[in-house]
Amino acid sequence: MAIRERINGLFKRSNIASVNTYESIKSNASQLKYQDPLVRGTYHDFWDYYSRKEVALNDAVGQRVTMGFLKHILQKLPKFVINDEIQSEYIMDDVRQALEHLNIKPKWTTIGTNAVLNGWCLVKWNPIFSQEGLQKLTCKIFGREECHDRFWYRFTSPGKENKIYKYDAIYIPRPLGMEAISRTLTEERFTLRPDDPTFQHLTRVDYNYG
C-alpha cells in the first residue's frame, strides 16, 4: 500500500466516541481515584454564572484566557503614541501620571473581571474635586452578585420598551485579614439611574447578558 493511500485511509477513519461520558464520570465518581473539582462540582453549564466563575478561576485554560490575560495586560499602565504603526515618542505623559495618581489600575482589573464573568459591569464613580481639579477617584463596582439583572427595571410604555430606568443594588464590603475580625459588615443599598453622569453600565461589545 502506498504512503498516500495510508494517509488517506487515516483521515477517512470514523470518529469513535469515547466510552467516558459526562454521565458515566458523574455516576462512577466514587470509583475514580481522581476527579477534577469542576467535574465533581458539576460546573459545566456555560449559561450559569457560578459555572463560568469557577472555570475562570480554577480551570487552567479558562483562567489563562480570562483572569490571567486580564492581569497580564494590566500589569503596566498604557503608554500613548501618535501612531502605533511607526516608532515615535510617547505623548500624553500627564494622562499617564494622572492614572497613576488616581490608582486606576485595580479599578480596571475589578471592572474587567466582572465584564469577563457577566458580560457587563455597573460602576458608580465618586470623584472628589478641589481648586486644582480632580484629586481623588473612588468607585463602587457592581456585578451579578451585587445587582442581579432581575433588579433592572425597564419601561413598558410604547416607545420606551425594554429601556432601563433604574437598578437596585446592594453593596457588601469584604474586609481582609484583621479587618474581618474588627469590622462589622454593613450593607449599602443603591438606586442607580442611567441619567446619573457618575454612573456607567459597561458591556462587552459582542453580547450582553441581561
pLDDT tens track for 113-134: 888 888 889 999 998 888 888 8
Kindly state whether residue 34 falls inside one of the protein's structural domains: no
pTM over 0.95, yes/no: no
d(CA 138, CA 70): 21
Residue 173 Ramachandran class (φ > 0 left, ψ -120 to 50 alpha, else beta):
beta
> Does residue 208 lie in a domain region?
no
Kindly report, residue by residue over 52-67, the tens digit of the pLDDT: 888 888 888 888 888 8
Which domain, by its residues, includes 163? 121-203
Q: DSSP assignment of 88-141, as one string?
A: --EE-HHHHHHHHHTT-HHHHHHHHHHHHHHSEEEEEEEEEEETTEEEEEEEEE
Of 208 and 153, the structure prediction assigns the larger pLDDT to: 153
Place 87 in a pLDDT band, splitting at 50, 70 and 90. Answer: confident
Question: For 100-110, how does the pLDDT look when each residue is reduced to its tens digit (9 = 90+)?
Answer: 888 888 898 88
The length of the chain is 210
* Nine cell digits for residue 58: 480554577
Q: Is residue 44 part of a domain?
A: no
* Structural domains of the chain, count: 1
Percent above pLDDT 90 for the chain: 16
Q: Is residue 88 part of a domain?
A: no
Q: What distance in Å separates the CA atoms of residue 210 and residue 205, rounded to the nearest whole number?
A: 14
Confidence at residue 19, expressed as pLDDT on a 0 to 100 scale? 67
Higher pLDDT, 30 or 35: 35
The answer, yes or no, to whether residue 209 has pLDDT greater than 80, is no
Mean pLDDT of the chain: 80
pLDDT for the residue numbered 145:
87
Whether the Cβ atoms of residue 172 and residue 185 lie closer than 8 Å to each other:
yes
Domain assignment present for 185:
yes
pLDDT over threshold 50, residue 210: no
* Residue 184 covered by a domain: yes
